[in-house]
């Protein structure tokens, strides 16, 4: 076999080590040529001491030499040494790779930010749980959860605490969930991600309902994100054939419409009463201790020296704007009463009970905890024309007529209209106005709704739960 190689202007040097082989003729063979071609045929020979190669060299087809070159034992030793070093390096690489594979999870946890003690704790968990910590977006401060007795559901503590719960509440909720409901719900077909979704939106009482009624995720999923859904009513939701929101509002909150037949007697808790559209009436309670933030004095006339002119700032600002625009029309509005705390409402309620009796009083005055005045969003209006005796009641005044036509522009609605008494359950109060914001007020005005009808159509934009 011949390989052809073109070489120009180079020194071609062959160096040989003397040997007993008869083929070796010189220690050195040199060719210095500007341009030539070399044909080399390599044949391998072996002896007990050397490896030798036969070179057939032909210059321009004229000169033909046979030369035998040896690779010395020294070179062979160097090659062997390099092979050994390479083998050691490969071995070390294999060991390193093996260690990385064995400790892969610990290394991943370290990169997440977990210290040695935290890694040791995590590694005691199940393989599935460990994978969850590795894949979770950030590290969890395990030490803060270990300051109290817990069952090592650190990831779930962290996720539940995102709802605003403190550490003690989170640990108590999660540990009880795993102790009482987890296995049963897994056997009912709920996977871990679904259960975590439910834990953010579901009470332990709801989990008990799901377990006891054998509800499936397919059954409850359409209702789970609706504020105020009651899981024990899910079978009735499904039977009704109504759309999810309508089913929740019509079945679980039939009492919103005071004219609707009520098959289930319930009371409800409104534990976050700051929402503008809060549906508050008999059966819907805010905490006794609730006091609105940012109460401020409304800068318009007050009918009585002892009259309360405090309202939430957003409602106060809107009322001041309405007062100024009415004044431009020669109409002077005034406040009879605005914010009333729970204890003052209790006094008013007791007085009505004594004066009118129970049957009449409940239609004329709100039960303590169910009063719009406690929200800081409602005001009883009057006018200068009433205060100076021109008119007997506010409902007969030009001021009232102007407010009725324009209140929605400032975010106010007439809360208890005369033609909605059967729905509101409260007698007509032409003086009582409620701040709900301009968007909702405009829709209520244009569609001739009351707040009950608006709520039934739109649902709750705030949390509602059964009062236990």
Take residue 414 and report the two structure tokens written for it.
């007439």
Reduced to 3 states (helix: H, G, I; strand: E, B; else coil), residue 82 is helix
**DSSP secondary structure code for residue 255 in this structure:** G
Assigned token pair, 354: 């004594």
Q: DSSP E strands: which ranges in 174-213?
A: none
Which of 372, 399, 429, 452 is an active site residue? 429
CA R_g for the chain: 45
Strands 412-414 and 378-383: unpaired
Tell me the β-bridge partners of 380.
337, 432
Question: What's the distance, CA 382 to chain centroid?
Answer: 46
Question: Token pair of 259, please?
Answer: 């004219």
For this structure, is 429 an active site residue?
A: yes
CA 10 to chain centre: 75
Q: What does the alpha-carbon distance between residue 407 and residue 61 come to, in Å, rounded to a whole number?
A: 115
Which sign, positive or negative, has the C-alpha torsion 223, 212, 208, 133? negative
What is the tally of helices (H) and strands (E) in the chain?
21, 13
What is the Cα–Cα distance from 416 to 427, expressed in whole angstroms? Answer: 7
- As a whole number of angstroms, the distance between CA 69 and CA 330 comes to 123
Residues in the chain: 468
Contact in structure between 65 and 88 (CB atoms under 8 Å): no
In angstroms, the CA 131 to CA 120 distance is 14
Which secondary structure element, helix H or strand E, spans residue 6, and what is its range?
strand 3-15
In the block, residue with structure tokens 């600002």: 317
Question: Active-site residue numbers?
Answer: 429
């Amino acid at each position: 076999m011949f390989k052809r190689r073109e070489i120009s202007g180079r020194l071609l040097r062959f160096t040989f080590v003397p040997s007993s082989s008869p083929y070796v003729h010189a220690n050195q063979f040199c060719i210095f040529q500007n341009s030539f071609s070399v044909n080399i045929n390599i044949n391998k020979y072996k002896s007990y001491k050397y490896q030798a190669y036969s070179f057939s060299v032909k210059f321009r087809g004229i000169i033909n030499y046979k030369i035998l070159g040896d690779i010395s034992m020294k070179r062979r030793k160097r090659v062997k040494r390099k092979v050994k070093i390479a083998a050691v390096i490969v071995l070390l690489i294999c060991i390193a790779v093996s260690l990385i594979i064995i400790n892969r999870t610990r290394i991943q946890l370290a990169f997440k930010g977990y210290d040695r003690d935290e890694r040791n704790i995590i590694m005691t968990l199940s393989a599935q749980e460990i994978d969850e910590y590795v894949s979770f977006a950030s590290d969890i401060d395990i030490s803060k959860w270990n300051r109290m007795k817990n069952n090592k559901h650190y990831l779930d503590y962290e996720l539940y605490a995102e709802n605003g719960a403190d550490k003690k509440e989170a640990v108590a909720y999660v540990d009880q969930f795993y102790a009482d409901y987890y296995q049963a719900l897994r056997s009912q077909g709920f996977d871990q991600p679904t259960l975590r979704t439910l834990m953010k939106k579901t009470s332990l009482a709801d989990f008990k309902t799901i377990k006891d009624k054998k509800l499936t995720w397919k059954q409850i999923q359409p209702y789970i994100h609706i504020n105020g859904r009651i899981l024990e009513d899910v079978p009735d939701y499904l039977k009704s054939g109504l759309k999810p929101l309508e089913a929740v509002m019509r079945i679980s909150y039939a009492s919103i419409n005071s004219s609707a037949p009520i098959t289930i007697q319930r009371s409800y808790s409104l534990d976050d009463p700051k929402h503008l559209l809060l549906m508050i009436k008999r059966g819907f309670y805010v905490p006794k201790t609730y006091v609105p933030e940012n109460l401020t004095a409304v800068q318009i006339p007050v009918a009585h020296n002892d009259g309360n002119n405090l309202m939430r700032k957003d409602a106060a600002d809107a009322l001041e704007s309405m007062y100024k625009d009415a004044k431009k029309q020669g109409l002077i509005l005034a406040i009879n009463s605005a914010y009333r705390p729970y204890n003052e409402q209790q006094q008013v309620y007791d007085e009505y009970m004594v004066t009118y009796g129970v049957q009449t009083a409940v239609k004329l005055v709100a039960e303590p905890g169910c009063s719009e005045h406690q929200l800081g969003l409602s005001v009883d209006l009057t006018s200068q024309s009433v205060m100076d005796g021109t008119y007997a009641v506010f409902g007969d005044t030009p001021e009232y007529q102007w407010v009725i036509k324009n209140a929605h522009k400032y975010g106010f609605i007439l809360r208890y209209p005369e033609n909605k008494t059967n729905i509101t359950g409260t007698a007509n109060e032409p003086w009582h106005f409620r701040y709900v914001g301009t968007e909702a007020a405009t829709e209520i005005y244009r569609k001739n709704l009351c707040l009950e009808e608006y709520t039934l159509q739109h649902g709750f934009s705030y949390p509602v739960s059964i009062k236990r």
